[in-house]
Each structure stands twice: as structure tokens, then as C-alpha cells.
Amino acid sequence: MALGPPPVDDAEVTPAFPRFVHETLPQRVSFAAGEAADAVSEEVRRLGGSRVMAIATDADRAEPVLAGVPVAVLHTDVVRHVPVEVAERARAAAREYDADVVVSVGGGSTTGLAKAVALTSGLPIVAVPTTYAGSEATDVWGLTESGRKTTGVDRRVLPRAVVYDASLMLGLPVATSVASGLNALAHCVDAMWGPRADPIDQALALEGIRALNAGLPRIVAGPREVGGREQTLYGAYLSAVAFASAGSGLHHKICHVLGGMFDLPHAETHAVVLPYVLALNAPAVPDLDARMAAAFGTHTALAGLQRLRGEVDAPRSLRDLGLAERDLDRAVGPILEAAPPSNPVPVTAEEVEALLHAAYEGREPA
Ligand code: NAD
């Protein structure tokens, strides 16, 4: 019998997608509301850990989570944006206590410090996130030195396991929850058109938008309801997976420049800037706009985002975050340098300037 490819002359050969490669990051993820201690102890056991370095901002929040784990040291010296000297102290503690597994319990700053330890030691991380930042699902690390933020990608910093326990977040203040959830939503939006965005990233991002759009108003209505917290965590996880694969789009580049230059609060900066980037990009990609709009249940993605922002009383302006208007123009050059060439619309200095001034004032995005 003759072998070989089937005849193609009568086949329809137009593919559904341009050629793409999607890489899935290897990680175990548990959703375990109210059962973090059990799940963390199982993950540490699977990793063969007998001397755990626990990293947390808040010992009281972390201790119940660590109940079933052999803790060699609980390290609480966590500072936002991971200054290098803070990273060095944590690395020294890991060596001093001969740690074999790192367990982080906290927001993006805490996960970030665990990643700094893993980057140089190769120690495996079990991450227990307590905000919606999503760092736990990415292989991106960040450090700051003399006010300059450096980021990099390294497989060693990807947590081997993540334990999501929504009950740990019942005390996260509503305003912080809203900003953090909108940071997650920004991961979804950027994942639609990031430099490596593919159809799988987009599917994850759209489900992330749907979950965050439903979960955040539930948190505002009932901050101590586990269901709304867990729905938001689910959306935050999807957003981070999509974002890690798609890479930073224009929105993240803008926020990265602003955050690094002016030491602005991370989540709030994302929450303020997102509608302006959406207003700039979405009209150029009507198909993506329509799919995001469907996830929001509105006519356009911007209408959906603005409705959600109104419902949850989102942070409005860069002015409210303490930025001075005279500083805005200094950010334009670095943003233009960082803007991805694949952005749906070419980005000009005038557009960036207009975007920053509108975000500064909290004007309705055009
Ligand atoms: P954060 O970790 O600094 O936490 C914000 C505040 O919330 C802190 O004061 C913290 O103590 C408090 N908090 C955290 N959990 C709490 C809880 N359950 N109850 C009460 N208070 C709680 O901020 P963040 O927004 O989570 O993370 C921001 C950092 O994460 C930035 O440095 C950012 O660059 C980084 N990040 C990295 C990635 C990545 O992929 N590498 C992704 C997203 C964010």
C-alpha cells in the first residue's frame, strides 16, 4: 500500500490561524478555599521540603497557612518592588537557614521576593497569593536598584505550585482589592494584543475578563463573601497565564515606566491607565474589541470597562496617585522607546502625551 500525504487538490487549505506556537508553563495550581494549610503542606511534601523558608508581610496571616509545614525561618522583611538590598537579605537568610523550599504568603511584593531568592538559589517556590496581582503564574522577576526597576524572565522563578485560598483575602481592603483586580484585568487586555498573543492567550484572557467583571462587583457588595473573592482569584490566575504567554503590551510598558520613574503604587497605576490604552487600541482591532465587549456583556470593550469601573469606584486619576503634572512629559520618551512595535496602532509622541495628560486629570477617555 502506498504511504504518503493525502491528496490536497480538493482540500480547503486556508488555516484558521496564522502559524503560532503556544508554550504552557509547568505549574500545579490548587483552588482550596479555607484549606490552604492542607494544600500547602501537600505541595511542600511533594517537593521533598524539610526546611521551609516562609516569606510573608504579615506573620499573623501566614502562620495558619504554615501550620503543617516544617518552617526553618519566617522572613517578614518584604518591601514593595523588591529593592536589591532586600533581595540580598532574603537570599542570605535562605542560605543561613539552609532552606530547601520557599513558601510565600502575600501579594505581588511577597511573591516577588520569593522569586528573587529562587533566581539565585534555584529553590522551588510554593506561592500562596493574597492579592490579585498574578505574579505567581508568571516566570517574570523584578528588582529595583536606585529607583530603576529591572525585570527579566527566568524559568527558575516560576512557582512550582500555587495555592489559592480565597478566605485569606477577606481582610484585603475593598479599595486595594478593586485596584488589584483591575491590575488583573489589565493583564487580560494586554494579552489580547501583546507581542506574542495567540488564540489560546486570547481565550484565557476573555474568560479572565468575564470572571473579573463578575467577581469585582461581588467583592464591593460583600467583601467578606468567599465566592466573589474566589471568582476574582480565578480571573486573576487566567489573566496572568495569558499575560505571561502574550508578553507586555503598550499598557504594561506605560505603567512600568510611570511606576519606575515616580514610585507610583503598582495596582492603582494600572487601574487608572487601562481605559486610555483601551480607547487608543481597541478601535483598530474591531474583532478583538467585539470579543472583549461580549465578555463584559456590553457593546464595546471600553463601555464594559467604564461600567465596571463605575460600579466598583475605581481609582480615577494619576493626580490622585500623587504624580505632578510637570513630570508627565519626562515619561513620553521612555514610553515611546518601550512601546511594542506590534501594538495595534503606531504610537506617536503626541498620542502618548495626550494619553498621559488625560489620565493625569482622570478625563473620560476619547
Ligand atoms: P503588594 O504585594 O505590595 O500588596 C499591597 C498591599 O496589600 C500591601 O500593603 C500588603 O501588605 C497588603 N495585603 C496583601 N494581601 C493582603 C490581605 N490578604 N489582606 C490585607 N492586606 C493585604 O501589592 P500587589 O499589587 O499585590 O503587587 C505589586 C507588586 O507585584 C509590584 O512590585 C509588581 O511589580 C509585582 N508584580 C509582578 C508580576 C510578575 O509577573 N512578576 C505581576 C504582577 C505584579
Say yes or no: 80 and 202 in one domain: no
Among the residues of 222-281, which ranges form H helices?
A: 226-246, 250-262, 266-281
Say yes or no: CB of residue 104 within 6 Å of ligand 1: no
Does one domain contain both 259 and 277? Answer: yes
Please name the residue that has the C-alpha cell 502618548: 352
Cell 508581610 -> residue: 57
Residue 166's pLDDT is what? 98
164 grid coordinates: 489559592
In a domain, 21, yes or no: no
Q: How far is the CA of 10 from the centre of ligand 1 (A)?
A: 56
Tell me, yes or no, whether 116 lies in a domain: yes
Residue identifier of the C-alpha nearest atom 30 of ligand 1: 108
What DSSP state is assigned to residue 255? H
Rounded to a whole number of angstroms, the distance between the first and last alpha carbons of the chain is: 65
Do 113 and 210 reside in the same domain of the chain?
Answer: no
Task: Note whether residue 18 is domain-resident.
Answer: no
| End-of-domain residue from the set 169, 192, 218 | 169
239 lines ligand 1 (CB under 6 A): no
* Same domain as 202, residue 98: no
Contacts for 286 with CB less than 8 Å, ≥ 6 apart: none
The domain boundary residue, chosen from 169, 199, 224: 169
129 in contact with ligand 1, CB cutoff 6 A: no
CATH code of the domain covering residue 227? 1.20.1090.10
The whole model's pTM is what?
Answer: 0.94
Question: At residue 191, what are phi and psi to the nearest 5 degrees?
Answer: -70, -15
> In this structure, are 49 and 163 located in the same domain?
yes
Residues 275, 355 within the same domain: yes
166 CA from centroid of ligand 1 (Å): 15
Give me the pLDDT at residue 105, please: 98
Contact of 79 with 87, CB cutoff 8 Å: no
The CATH number of whichever domain residue 138 belongs to comes to: 3.40.50.1970
Q: How many residues appear in the chain? A: 366
Nine cell digits for residue 122: 534555584
Rounded Cα gap, residues 228 and 230, in angstroms: 5
For 220, phi and psi rounded to 5 degrees?
A: -65, -40
Mean pLDDT by 10 residues, the chain (366 residues): 62 87 96 98 98 96 97 96 95 98 97 98 98 96 84 96 98 97 98 97 98 98 98 98 96 92 92 98 98 98 98 97 92 95 95 96 91
Atom 35 (ligand 1) nearest CA: 108
Measured distance CA(78)–CA(108) in Å, rounded = 10
- The one-letter code for the residue type at 326 is R
Per DSSP bridges, beta strands 148-153 and 140-145 are antiparallel
What φ, ψ does residue 144 adopt, rounded to 5°? Answer: -120, 140
184 and 212: one domain? yes
Alpha-carbon 86 to chain mean position:
22
What domain range includes position 69?
28-169
| CA-wise closest residue to 239 among 184, 301, 295 | 184
| Mutation pick for ligand 1 pocket among 77, 128, 266 (CB with most ligand atoms within 8 Å) | 266
Residue in 61, 63, 135 to alter for ligand 1 test, most ligand atoms within 8 A of Cβ: 135
Contacts of 149 (CB under 8 A, 6+ apart): 81, 142, 143, 256, 259, 260
pLDDT in tens, 84-126: 999 999 999 999 999 999 999 999 999 999 999 999 999 999 9
Query: 11 exposed, middle or buried (CB, 10 Å; 0-12, 13-18, 19+)?
Result: exposed
Residue at which a domain ends, from 123, 153, 169: 169
209 grid coordinates? 475578563
- Asked if residue 169 has its Cβ within 6 Å of ligand 1, the reply is yes
Q: How far apart are CA 16 and CA 302, in angstroms?
A: 27
260 belongs to a structural domain: yes
Task: Output the pLDDT for position 10.
Answer: 75
Check whether residue 294 and residue 342 sit in a common domain.
Answer: yes
Residue whose CA lies nearest to ligand 1 atom number 32 = 81
The answer to the question of residue 9 being in a domain is: no
**Ligand 1 atom nearest to CA at 142:** 41
CA of 112 to the centre of ligand 1 (A): 9
- In this structure, which residue's CA is closest to atom 14 in ligand 1? 107
**Same structural domain, 185 and 158:** no
Tens-place pLDDT, residues 42-78: 999 999 999 999 999 999 999 999 999 999 999 999 9
Determine the atom of ligand 1 nearest the C-alpha atom of 176.
7
User: Which three cell numbers, joined as nine digits, stand for 72?
Assistant: 526553618
What per-residue confidence (pLDDT) applies to 356? 96
Q: Indicate if ligand 1 lies below 6 Å from the C-beta of 167.
A: no
> Is there a single domain that holds both residue 180 and residue 276?
yes
Whether 105 is covered by a domain: the verdict is yes
Q: What is the pLDDT of residue 133?
A: 95
Flag whether 196 is in a domain.
Answer: yes
Question: What pLDDT sits at residue 13?
Answer: 82
169 with 130: CB under 8 angstroms?
yes
d(CA 121, CA 200): 32
Tell me: do 201 and 322 sit in the same domain: yes
Does the beta carbon of 36 lie inside 6 Å of ligand 1? no
Residue nearest to atom 20 of ligand 1 (CA): 172
Residues 6+ apart with CB under 8 A from 150: 142, 143, 144
76 and 119 belong to one structural domain: yes
Question: What is the widest separation between alpha-carbon atoms in the chain?
Answer: 77
Residue to substitute in 109, 187, 219 for testing ligand 1 pocket (most ligand atoms within 8 angstroms of CB)? 109
In total, how many domains does the chain have? 2
Domain-located, residue 319: yes
